[in-house]
Structure 1
Amino acid sequence: MAGINSTSPPPPFQVQPPPSAFCDSSSKLLPFVYNLTIFYAEANLRGDEAPLVATSVVMFVLAVLFFILNVFSRSSDVSTILNPTVRLILSTSLSLFLPATSYLFSEAKNAVGQTADLSVRARTILMWMFLVELLRKKVEAILVTAGMHGYSDTIHSASRVVWLGSLVFFNLRSAGKKALYGTLWVLAAAKLVQRFVTVELGKRSFAYGRNPQLLASYMTQMLKLQGQDNHGPAGSDVLKRCNYAVIGEEELKKEAGPKGYKLDELEKAILDTDSSSSVITVGKIWAFAEKDPMLRSDPKLKRLCLSFALFKLLRRRLEEFPITDAEASNCRDLVFKGLWQEGMVGEDAIQVFSDELQFLCEYYHSVLPVVFASPFFFVHNYILFPIIVWAFCILMLISCSNGDVAYALDSFRTDNYVMSGGMLRMARCVLGKVWESLSTPFVFCGVDISITILLILAFAYEEVWEFIVFLLSNWFMVSLLCSHTSTPEWRTHPLLRRIIPSIVSVRNTMNQPKVCFKQFSVLRFSRLSLPLPTREVPEEAKTLIMERLARVSRDAPLSNGMSVLRSAEHRLSIQSHELSWACKSDSIAEVILTWHIATALLDATCRRQRGTRPEDGREAATALSGYCAYLVAFHPKLLPDDKDGTELVHADMKMQLREEMGGWWGYYRSGESERYTKLMQVARTRQEGTTVISKGARLGKVFIDRYKDDARERVWKLLGDLWTEVMLYVAPTSSELHMKAHKEALAEGGEFITVLWAIVTHTGIARPAEPVEAPLRSISISGV
């Protein structure tokens, strides 16, 4: 916000008030505050000026909403992704700012005529317009994938910046005022050019936008050079021989051909054990970690590099580059002969793929430029770029005063009250008057000041937040680790060698995102109970999942739970084969809901028995049961069945439960106890029912009866294994539509099933092929 020229007399229509009318009689503060309040003092709040005042109030509400959501909308301490709902609200708020500010500016400009300098209120509104334009890009995702979007957004942004420039240079007369707002225009234009250049270079770079094409050729040729060794080493030795590229493959000499790029220097790059070569592979980092104290003391760092290499491979699948059988076989050995046999627990193994998914989410939906994070980008973006912008701002200041530097500095200070140290005094004065008297002019003037302060604070917060998140991001850490591995100077220089430990220590003090999922329960849920609870994936569930995946990788059957019921372990201990009827359905949604109801009933029974310790498998079973039911209810597109069919199964189940609870009122008013009692009653009276509710209740009663017969451990062990099997059964994609659904889920940070999808996609694990029905033969009848 800028003040009027203190050396110029007030406009004719503004009568100088007595000094006692304001906070003090300062020759600068008094006319400035008066000029701010004069519009509201003379406005007819019930006449033509009413829309202007109402628009100011709307602007204030939008500013408050934007500031609150902007500050408190981060999902973690180092988040670069905005929740889609929050992003929509923020984008809508910013979009509404433009017509509102345009309307207010036009009316304020017309009030002083075409020849006079802009009033204080008009200049205040002009500053709002600049701040909104600077904030607009902070809520838009940075897309660096070639072909993902056109240039319409850039053209719209450029047209707005040009329009704002015309408002400055054609409406401001004073050199100091023109210099201040010209500086804001330079900053807005520089930010636009910076973003455009960054995105365009990224789209054309083989390290970012064109990386899938290059990596497809890299993997094909690398696997041919490496060969297949089915009886090779295990544990860390497998990882030390892994040639998956972390960074640097874009530096290889390449030649485009009919089957991709020919990489002539690939063999030398991957077989060279010298870590200083251009391509940094997983194997080089794993081998270097054995002799580097920092990497040896913190294994999470080398696993983060593996996550980054896997992210690059999985990104190809999302951009329609298939994963070959040879690659899937190689990755299967890497995961189950390498990672899993290295002594890693299930939690660490799942975290590797969760970090991979986080890279994927940030690549497609980050609102900050972390995708480009590297020492090189840091120097150019946060050191050189600000220097260049400051140089252009100084040039703007000098050009507005016709080259007179002394006059430029003096006019910049004297023509703008905000630059002469009086902004806080002015805000304190106006807000103090609001508190004392609630005078209408000061109330609405306080609204204008509050809007300006909130927008300035939001912009400052965004700039600081971007810098902090950039330094603490996984992308920057991977780049630093690769520099540490390949460049001896990073390990010997007294300053450089302290960078990684310093960042790691700061990251360790912050809340790191946990692998979590949402929970849904038929016994507790109604629309009145939203939002759904979220819980961390239990360590027991992670271990069961990795153990089951390892068995499936060795050709163990993968089913909707039937193989678990027929396994020798459970057949002998609990006669589980007698329950196979609960898995006999073509609909996985029906199987999930049936077993979910049974698990929920058994869990409710166990919680009523105080003093009993949790059995093995219970935590995993209840968590996975709640999450699978959540997928049926809220993300049917992520399940292998047809979306409409899954929704129909869930709708029928809700209708059946409503009928059992006595209608809508009983359904929405009932709690867990009432639903438990009703379902147990259904189990006793409807032994032959075929609905999901009947089968689930009957199955739950079977478990409850066996739980009472001192088979507690065996019952929960069965349910833990079964839910692990079901969770893995639904993870592989059965069509491109399901893969697209996983990609869409990345906008919300991804789902846990997407983590499992990443594992099975890398390793080539799939559901058994469904039998293909023979087409009906057409019979032609002749002679009729």
Structure 2
Amino acid sequence: MDGDASCGKTSGLVWNLTSSYADQSNEASMVSATVIMFILAALFFNLNLFSGLSDASAILDPKVRIALSKALSLFLPVMSYLFSEAKNAGAGADAAELPLRARLILTWMLLVELLRNKVEVIPMQQHHGDGWHKGTVERAGRVAWLGSLVFFNLRGAGRRSVFGILWLLCAAKLVQRVTFTLVGNNSYAFGKNARLIVSYMRAPRVLLGKHGDVDSDGDDHELSLKTCRYVVMGENKLVTGPSPDGYSLTVADDSATATTTVGKIWKLAETDPFLASVDQDGRLRRLCLSMALFKLLRRSFEHLPPMSEAETRDCRELIFFRGGMYSSSSTEEEEEEEGRQKGAEDLFEVMKDETLFLSEYYHSVVPVAMASPIFLVANYLIFPAMVLLLCQVIIVLCGNGNLIFAFRSLGSDNYSVSFGVARMARCLLARVARSPSVFFSTIDLSITFLLFLVLVYEQVWELVVFLFSNWFLVSLLHGYATTDERRRSATFCWAVRRIQWVRSKMSHPDLTVKQFSALRSFRLWPPTILPAISLMTLPTVAVPKEVKHAVADYLLATATTASGLVSNGKLAVAAHPELRRLCQSESVAEVILAWHMATCLFEQRMKERPPPPTACRRDMIVATTISKYCAYLVAVHPELLPENQESTERVFQDMEEELRRTVSFWSYYIPAVAGGGHDKIINLAEKLDQALEPVQMSTLQKGASLWRSLDEEARCAGGGEDGMWKVLADLWVQLLVYVAPTAPDDRERVMGHAKVLQEGGGFLTVLWALATHTGIHRAAPPPVAVESVGCV
């Protein structure tokens, strides 16, 4: 009988909740509110459910973030209107209290405001202009508006308390975000850190290990990872005050307890038993090196002086020489080859983690950049305790200071609290198939429950990402290296070991590349909108180890030269006059697309022949992978290439138009069904006049001619297929490294890489960072002769 009576009360609640549907005048408004919230709840649920537990999970995909931000920008005014409609619809029934439907919409508005933090980036860098203040005022305005709806429309003490607590959580989140921004912008460890690092690198005894000798020809200094003075953490403790060109620092020797350097971590890993046991594979040491390099690279994004020649020379030697990351002292050829392969993997792991630090610093939705044990206690223990205390104050204030009445009214004024959500759900589900009113109520209450569930999950997700982030792990290592108490603490060592064990079970994002083939990629969209959807349709593959090894070998060879200049591919075809003649062009994009077409055609022909030997297969993997990645850069990210973006886009569009004319309609738009039109392009190559000059050829014609020359030389006894794949592999490695560096004053290219960081970075961004650190660069373009024009 008690259950029937309780379900009878639930029926009354259902009638109050769905009574607005019976009013034909506002039926559309009520249905719209439910549909809007159902879509938003589903989006947030899927976003949290499939966010994953990986190193990159502190970053939200920019496409998803932009879409949700635009949707949420319209949410508050639309739902405010629907709230007003629901309030007016129930005014006649009970003017003393807000109608149930209006209270439900208000609940949705408060929950969605709490979930906004999932799509808002925490700005850790220093801002210029009024962008930061504008965003803060907008967020404060939303919270103030929601507070007015709560405290000026609700009458019951219990109801006002419950909604007041939700509003207090919104206000607390706002204060928390503002605090993150203020602390980040004004801290030497975050917002001011890039300029601080510039001053640190200028200080004596930092460059070239322990001697500070800037003579690159001398051999009396020891430059290795064990003597590296690149700072990992704690440099903010060295500041004594600002100076005209930066900050005045007290840089002591490497035994100083205030800071942690790369050399200190490397030495400690060899002498400390605990650290040696948890870092047997060197992953923690490489992570600290990534943090140090990340701090050096930040100046490129914040309009600060670039790395000096001495700094780039040191970093180049640190990576490629004298026991560096990509060097081997083994005398056995097999051991040296194995060591170089592992060195290539380690090198790109360091650079990938560095770009991940950059991505999470500038585009994170979780405050991982501030990760430390102190911040963990302050943000996840003390702050929630203070919010809980304020919630109790809200309850007492809503009860006019009567403590007993205030807490009793929480149940008496809120049916869901007194009756219980689980019992209410059972009553609704028992009648959902027999009553349309119960059906609509079940949907509304399910949306509310789903939003609560997503909110709880988001808080847990944020804590998990924080605890197992690279930032928190480096912070723990910094504390271990600089504090004797933590070295002796069994609890601290246990925590580090447990975190390492959990991280080993988590997925870690690999370095990947997009693959775009001009002959086989789906083109069911106009070229003008290709960049908008290509990331969702083009295949993504992990960078093969063969590619890493080949690129690292070429970088090592380039680093050993005195100039540090990279080749634009001409070096690879120096022994092949016809190939060298055909790739003459002032446009890098044209060269890339021409060689891409030739490589795709050559690959297609090789598939019709017996499998190549292992060495040739390795060169095939290098050539085809880099070819399709470079073609992707031309098609999707022309802002990353070292030439005018509009020129690159024009070259690509012209090639696409000619390709569309050469192959059939179906072969162009649906190559997977009708074929990619390889035969027609081959026929084009066979009909071309060999005496035609390259300047008279289009990009597609150059690609077809290059393929013809490759095929002819591959059939020669002296060349062979193996030799041609070696030429293609060398050429593509050189082309990829050629487009990676940027000039110190090339802000357009740097900002292009900053944009790509929103997606977690890319392979070219990794190479750009490596080139910036090591001083690898392209030759300056020849000066353009300008005729003087006199006045008549």
Q: TM-score, normalised by structure 1?
A: 0.90
Counterparts in 2 of 1:32 and 1:111: CA distance versus 1, 3 Å = farther
List per-residue Cα deviations over 1:147-187 (Å, max 9, x = no partner). Answer: 25321221222222222222222222222212211211221
Question: Which residue of structure 2 lines up, in the alignment, with residue 163 of structure 1?
Answer: 145
SS at the partner of 1:255? Answer: strand
| Residue among 763, 766, 788 paired with 1:752 | 763
1:323 is aligned to 2:307: yes
- Alpha-carbon offset, residue 377 of structure 1: 0.5
Counterparts in 2 of 1:777 and 1:97: CA distance versus 1, 3 Å = closer
Question: Which residue of structure 1 lines up, in the alignment, with residue 442 of structure 2?
Answer: 446
Contact 2:344 2:552 in 1 (8 A): yes
Letter in 1 for 2:734: E
Question: Which residue of structure 1 lines up, in the alignment, with residue 701 of structure 2?
Answer: 694
- Alpha-carbon offset, residue 644 of structure 1: 1.0
1:548 is aligned to 2:554: yes
Counterparts in 2 of 1:164 and 1:61: CA distance versus 1, 3 Å = same
| Residue among 724, 739, 752 paired with 2:750 | 739
Give the alignment of 1:19-58 within 5 angstroms: 24-27=3-6, 29-41=7-19, 43-44=21-22, 46-58=24-36
Letter in 2 for 1:669: I
Give the alignment of 1:556-635 within 5 angstroms: 557-566=565-574, 571=575, 576-614=576-614, 615=616, 616-635=618-637
Contact 2:122 2:180 in 1 (8 A): no
List per-residue Cα deviations over 1:401-446 (Å, max 9, x = no partner). Answer: 2333333332212322222352122233324433x23x43223222
SS at the partner of 1:254? Answer: strand
- Alpha-carbon offset, residue 327 of structure 1: 1.4
SS at the partner of 1:261? Answer: strand
Letter in 2 for 1:700: W
Bigger Cα displacement from structure 2, 112-121 vs 767-776: 112-121
Question: Which residue of structure 2 lines up, in the alignment, with residue 721 of structure 1?
Answer: 730
Contact 2:371 2:472 in 1 (8 A): yes
Bigger Cα displacement from structure 2, 305-314 vs 479-488: 479-488
Q: Work out the percentage of aligned pairs sharing the same amino acid.
A: 43
Bigger Cα displacement from structure 2, 392-401 vs 218-227: 218-227
SS at the partner of 2:203? Answer: helix
Letter in 1 for 2:216: N
Question: Which residue of structure 2 lines up, in the alignment, with residue 703 of structure 1?
Answer: 710
Whole-angstrom CA distance in 1 between matches of 2:493 and 2:757: 35
Question: Which residue of structure 2 lines up, in the alignment, with residue 177 of structure 1?
Answer: 159
Whole-angstrom CA distance in 1 between matches of 2:219 and 2:165: 63
Counterparts in 2 of 1:336 and 1:33: CA distance versus 1, 3 Å = farther
Give the alignment of 1:363-442 within 5 angstroms: 363-420=361-418, 422-434=420-432, 436-437=433-434, 439-442=435-438
Question: Which residue of structure 2 lines up, in the alignment, with residue 4 of structure 1?
Answer: none
Letter in 2 for 1:598: A
Bigger Cα displacement from structure 2, 310-319 vs 409-418: 409-418
Contact 1:176 1:413 in 2 (8 A): yes
Letter in 2 for 1:770: P
Contact 2:57 2:465 in 1 (8 A): yes
Letter in 2 for 1:384: I
List per-residue Cα deviations over 1:348-406 (Å, max 9, x = no partner). Answer: 10111111000001111001110100111001001111111111112222222233333
- Alpha-carbon offset, residue 253 of structure 1: 3.5
Question: Which residue of structure 1 lines up, in the alignment, with residue 46 of structure 2?
Answer: 68
- Alpha-carbon offset, residue 591 of structure 1: 0.7
Counterparts in 2 of 1:447 and 1:104: CA distance versus 1, 3 Å = farther
Whole-angstrom CA distance in 2 between matches of 1:718 and 1:306: 35
Give the alignment of 1:204-603 within 5 angstroms: 204-222=186-204, 223=206, 226-228=212-214, 230=216, 238-263=224-249, 265-266=250-251, 268=252, 271-273=253-255, 277-292=257-272, 293-294=276-277, 296-321=279-304, 322-337=306-321, 338-341=324-327, 343=339, 344-420=342-418, 422-434=420-432, 436-437=433-434, 439-528=435-524, 531-555=537-561, 557-566=565-574, 571=575, 576-603=576-603
List per-residue Cα deviations over 1:566-595 (Å, max 9, x = no partner). Answer: 2xxxx3xxxx34310232110111111111
Letter in 2 for 1:452: T
- The aligned length equals 742
- Alpha-carbon offset, residue 333 of structure 1: 1.4
SS at the partner of 1:340? Answer: coil
Letter in 1 for 2:655: M
Whole-angstrom CA distance in 1 between matches of 2:255 and 2:444: 64
List per-residue Cα deviations over 1:64-119 (Å, max 9, x = no partner). Answer: 23322343255946511111111122223333332232123222222343841223
Whole-angstrom CA distance in 2 between matches of 1:395 and 1:361: 40
Bigger Cα displacement from structure 2, 135-144 vs 119-128: 119-128
Whole-angstrom CA distance in 2 between matches of 1:272 and 1:526: 56
Whole-angstrom CA distance in 2 between matches of 1:528 and 1:509: 40
Letter in 2 for 1:582: L
Contact 1:74 1:82 in 2 (8 A): no
Bigger Cα displacement from structure 2, 388-397 vs 484-493: 484-493
Whole-angstrom CA distance in 1 between matches of 2:95 and 2:590: 75
List per-residue Cα deviations over 1:645-673 (Å, max 9, x = no partner). Answer: 111111111111111114x4442134484
1:193 is aligned to 2:175: yes
SS at the partner of 2:241? Answer: strand
SS at the partner of 1:230? Answer: coil
Whole-angstrom CA distance in 2 between matches of 1:445 and 1:91: 28
Bigger Cα displacement from structure 2, 615-624 vs 58-67: 58-67
SS at the partner of 2:764? Answer: helix
Contact 1:640 1:733 in 2 (8 A): yes
Q: TM-score, normalised by structure 2?
A: 0.89
SS at the partner of 2:84? Answer: helix
- Alpha-carbon offset, residue 477 of structure 1: 0.9
Contact 2:231 2:292 in 1 (8 A): yes
Contact 2:634 2:648 in 1 (8 A): yes
- Let me know the Cα RMSD of the aligned residues: 2.4
SS at the partner of 1:457? Answer: helix
Counterparts in 2 of 1:38 and 1:587: CA distance versus 1, 3 Å = same
List per-residue Cα deviations over 1:640-699 (Å, max 9, x = no partner). Answer: 01111111111111111111114x444213448442211211121114461221221222
Contact 2:16 2:101 in 1 (8 A): no
Contact 2:55 2:469 in 1 (8 A): no
Counterparts in 2 of 1:670 and 1:248: CA distance versus 1, 3 Å = closer
Whole-angstrom CA distance in 1 between matches of 2:469 and 2:686: 56
1:203 is aligned to 2:182: no
Whole-angstrom CA distance in 1 between matches of 2:705 and 2:498: 58
Gaps of 5+ in 1: 1-18
Counterparts in 2 of 1:516 and 1:754: CA distance versus 1, 3 Å = same
Give the alignment of 1:99-178 within 5 angstroms: 99-113=77-91, 115-148=95-128, 149-178=131-160
- Alpha-carbon offset, residue 709 of structure 1: 4.6
Whole-angstrom CA distance in 2 between matches of 1:766 and 1:100: 53
Contact 1:40 1:440 in 2 (8 A): no
Whole-angstrom CA distance in 2 between matches of 1:122 and 1:145: 41
List per-residue Cα deviations over 1:435-485 (Å, max 9, x = no partner). Answer: x23x43223222211221221122111111100000111111110111121
1:769 is aligned to 2:780: yes
Letter in 2 for 1:760: A
SS at the partner of 1:117? Answer: coil
Letter in 2 for 1:350: F
Whole-angstrom CA distance in 1 between matches of 2:455 and 2:219: 54
Whole-angstrom CA distance in 1 between matches of 2:388 and 2:473: 29
Bigger Cα displacement from structure 2, 207-216 vs 150-159: 150-159
- Alpha-carbon offset, residue 41 of structure 1: 4.5
